[in-house]
Amino acid sequence: MTYGKALNKGRGLFYDDDKGFGKWKQEKIYSINLIKEIPYHLDEQAAMWAAENTDLMYEIMEENPRIKTVRGAHTYVRIA
């Protein structure tokens, strides 16, 4: 959730500026080795969603035992 919260904070700074947000991620997250690999963009989207919808994420995972990941819960919401 911490990663998603950090991304949401950065996204708020660059709401309409995708390039600025990408540069911010590179400078603030990737370059200081907070994470070892640059995540897939869908994993980032799921992390951002989960940070804002934590209760819903756990509810979905509880009601659907086959869903075991944040990305799985996020996909469930997107297709529901």
Record the pTM.
0.85
Q: Give the model's pLDDT for residue 28.
A: 85
Q: What are phi and psi of 29, to 5 degrees?
A: -120, -55
Structural domain boundaries of the chain? 2-79
Q: What are phi and psi of 17, to 5 degrees?
A: -130, 90
- pLDDT > 80? residue 77: yes
pLDDT by residue (tens digit) across 42-61? 999 999 999 999 999 999 99
